Amino acid sequence: MTNAPLPSRDRLTELFLEFTRIASPFKHERQMADAVIKRLEAVGVRVHEDDTGARTGGDTGNLSCTVMGEGEPHIALGAHLDTVVPTDRIEPFLDEDAVFRNRQRTILGADDKAAVAALVHATELLKSSGRFFPSYELLFTVSEEIGLVGSKHLGEKVLASPFAAVFDSAGPVGGITVKAPSHETFKATFRGRAAHAGVEPEKGRSAIQAAAKAIAAMQLGRLDEETSANIGVIHGGVGTNIVPDLCEIEGECRSHDEEKLARVAAAMMDAMQAGATQAGVDLDIALVHEYRAFALTGRSPVVRLSKAALTDLGLEPRMQASGGGSDANILNARGLPTVNLTAGMSQVHSPDEHVSLDDLERLCGLMLRMILMAPDYVPRARAAAAGADD
């Protein structure tokens, strides 16, 4: 077995409670970033912050660093600093079953602060151990929750490692996400003509009616095993006695298959055009390709490393596909093979979000093993990048 340092449950508890007490919704990660920088600099790691915040209207940039050990960086490990917006205070505590929860009815922030705490502690352990360890990179992104904004603005040459792992998937430690979909989002604005709904409704053109016709014509929900579509937001109208002249809808579609995604997106656009035409209103649509799908095989060196590290930890690896995106989508699209590993968190983005101390300990142990075992998988990764291996 790998001679990895043993994580401290007390230290993991201290770090996790410290980080989750900090509110860090997307575009407001400053305090969280400062806490991470402070912890890493305390063990001699110099942290770089880029200009993503200034470029995107946030207050914080992505953080990156090389933890110097032996040789060039062998692997990059990542997590994100932001959370969805909490609706109440975050008062984390460890309950009698050794599970972290929030006393208030809002998110805990384990997504993704479980990973942040584990990465910081793994680095503390390696830097203080006095033992050999291979060099590695850390990446902490911002505004991940609103479309992977931080990773999209990450410099092309920031990471030098041959492969990477992010820890941003829900579920017990042991899951390896090797496949995730492409994602399209859109915002459609229907522009009609206002009129008094009781006195002269025939002079109006209802934007809401147009949007309703469009939505009714769409296929939504789970379309097949790898494709989905959704309308998530509707805004329109100002009063019951006014034919509404404006209605906005926001939606998305996802698929692991690019051709299917293109067909579904086109069908949704056609439905909106038809709805606008039938109601006699104008239509503006802004369609955004958020990120591209990725699929790694069992032959991928970073997948093999993940499986070996989990096995060494005494866990059964679980290969899985995801219906959501992560920074792994962006990094894979740039040619950096990246897995997304489960971080132990459950019921994320909800008031019932939680993570156990056992899983937090396992997560840190997994990170340590991946760092220490990475050199064994680098030659094959270099060969694959050069086209000599798949």
- As a whole number, mean pLDDT of residues 184-195 equals 98
Q: What's at 18, amino acid-wise? A: E
pLDDT digits (tens, 9 = 90+) for 4-38: 999 999 999 999 999 999 999 999 999 999 999 99
Statement: residue 389 has pLDDT above 80: no
Residue with tokens 């809401």: 208
> How would DSSP label each residue in 316-335?
--EEEE-SS--HHHHHHHTT
Q: Which of 48, 2, 39 is nearest to 365 (CA)?
A: 2
Average pLDDT over the chain, rounded to an integer: 97
- Report CA-CA distances (Å) from 315 to 176, 179, 365, 374: 12, 21, 11, 18
Q: Which residues are known catalytic residues?
A: 82, 144
For residue 158, report the phi and psi dihedrals to the nearest 5 degrees. Answer: -65, -45
314: left (phi over 0), alpha (psi -120 to 50) or beta: left
Please tell me the pTM assigned to this model. 0.94
Give the dihedral of Cα atoms 29, 108, 221, 289; nearest 10 deg. 10
Give the dihedral of Cα atoms 180, 116, 165, 319; nearest 10 deg. -50
> How would DSSP label each residue in 109-141?
-HHHHHHHHHHHHHHHHHHHH-S--B-EEEEEE
Statement: residue 158 has pLDDT above 80: yes
Statement: residue 185 has pLDDT above 90: yes
- Report CA-CA distances (Å) from 356 to 252, 276, 341: 33, 50, 16
Residue 279: pLDDT band with limits 50, 70, 90: very high
Statement: residue 382 has pLDDT above 90: no
pLDDT digits (tens, 9 = 90+) for 63-98: 999 999 999 999 999 999 999 999 999 999 999 999
Query: Residues 271, 272, 275, CA angle at the centre, nearest 5°?
Result: 85
Residue 390: pLDDT band with limits 50, 70, 90: very low
| 40 neighbors 72 (Cβ within 8 angstroms) | no
Q: What's at 324, amino acid-wise? A: G
User: Residue 388: its pLDDT value, please?
Assistant: 52
User: Residue 129: its pLDDT value, please?
Assistant: 93
Q: Which of 295, 294, 317 is nearest to 305 (CA)?
A: 317
- Domains of the chain and any CATH numbers: 9-180+293-385 (3.40.630.10), 182-291 (3.30.70.360)
- Considering the chain, what percentage of its residues have pLDDT values greater than 70? 99
| 124 neighbors 11 (Cβ within 8 angstroms) | yes
3-state secondary structure of 314: coil
| 264 neighbors 223 (Cβ within 8 angstroms) | yes
pLDDT digits (tens, 9 = 90+) for 95-145: 999 999 999 999 999 999 999 999 999 999 999 999 999 999 999 999 999
Q: Which of 321, 273, 326 is nearest to 164 (CA)?
A: 326
Q: Which of 246, 218, 230 is nearest to 185 (CA)?
A: 230
- As a whole number, mean pLDDT of residues 372-376 equals 97
| 65 neighbors 57 (Cβ within 8 angstroms) | no
| 313 neighbors 307 (Cβ within 8 angstroms) | no
pLDDT digits (tens, 9 = 90+) for 236-246: 999 999 999 99
Report the DSSP beta bridge partners of residue 195.
Answer: 243
User: Residue 383: its pLDDT value, please?
Assistant: 81
Residue 1: pLDDT band with limits 50, 70, 90: confident
Q: What's at 351, amino acid-wise? A: P
